[in-house]
Amino acid sequence: MKIIASNFKTNHTRQSTNEFINDINKFLKDENIKNDIYIFPPSTALDNFDTVSNLCIGTQNAFYVKDGPYTGEIGHSHLDEFDIKTILIGHSERRHILDETQKTVSLKFNYFKALGYKIIYCVGEPLDIKNQGLSQTLGYIQEQFDGIDLSYKDMIVAYEPVWAIGTGVSCGLDDIATIHKKLAKKTTAPLLYGGSVKLDNIKDIINIPNVDGVLIGTASWHKDDFKKIIENCI
User: What mask of x and - would describe binding to ligand PEP in positions 5 to 44, judged by CB under 6 A?
Assistant: --x-x-----------------------------------
Number of residues that bind ligand PEP (CB under 6 A): 14
Give bridge partners of residue 39 from the DSSP assignment: 6, 57
Give whichever of 71 and 129 is closer to ligand PEP, judged by the CB atom: 129
| 12, 76, 160, 180: the active-site residue | 160
d(CA 119, CA 112): 8
* Residues numbered 144-173 forming contacts with ligand PEP, rule: CB under 6 A: 160, 165-166
As separate numbers, helices (DSSP H) first and strands (DSSP E) second, the chain gives 9, 8
Only one of the segments 25-33, 142-150, 183-191, 194-202 lies at the binding site for ligand PEP (rule: CB under 6 A); that segment is 194-202
Distance CA 43, CA 22 (A): 17
Handedness of CA 16, 59, 163, 184 (dihedral sign): negative
Nearer to ligand PEP (CB atom), residue 190 or residue 217: 217
Choosing from 37, 196, 210, 233, the residue that interacts with ligand PEP (CB under 6 A) is: 196
Q: Which of residues 86-105 bind ligand PEP (CB under 6 A)?
A: none
Largest CA distance in the chain: 48
CB of 81 to ligand PEP, least distance (A): 25
Q: Nearest distance from residue 68's CB to ligand PEP, in Å? A: 28
Half-sphere exposure of 198 toward its Cβ, with a 13 Å CA cutoff?
13
Q: How far is the CB of 144 from ligand PEP (least distance, A)?
A: 15
Asked whether position 213 contacts ligand PEP by CB under 6 A, the answer is no
Catalytic residue (choose from 91, 93, 100, 180): 91
Whether 91 is a known active-site residue: answer yes
Report which of 213, 216, 209, 211 is spatially closest to residue 233, judged by C-alpha positions: 213
Q: Which of 11, 54, 218, 232 binds ligand PEP (CB under 6 A)?
A: 218
Give the DSSP H/E element, type plus range, for residue 230.
helix 223-231
DSSP string computed for 153-205: TTEEEEE--GGGTTTS-PPPHHHHHHHHHHHHHH--S-EEEESS--TTTHHHH
Nearest to 50 by CA among 27, 29, 25: 25
Minimum CB distance to ligand PEP, residue 166 (Å) = 4
Chain residues binding ligand PEP by CB under 6 A are 7, 9, 160, 165-166, 194-197, 215-219
Instruction: Write out the catalytic residue numbers.
Output: 91, 160
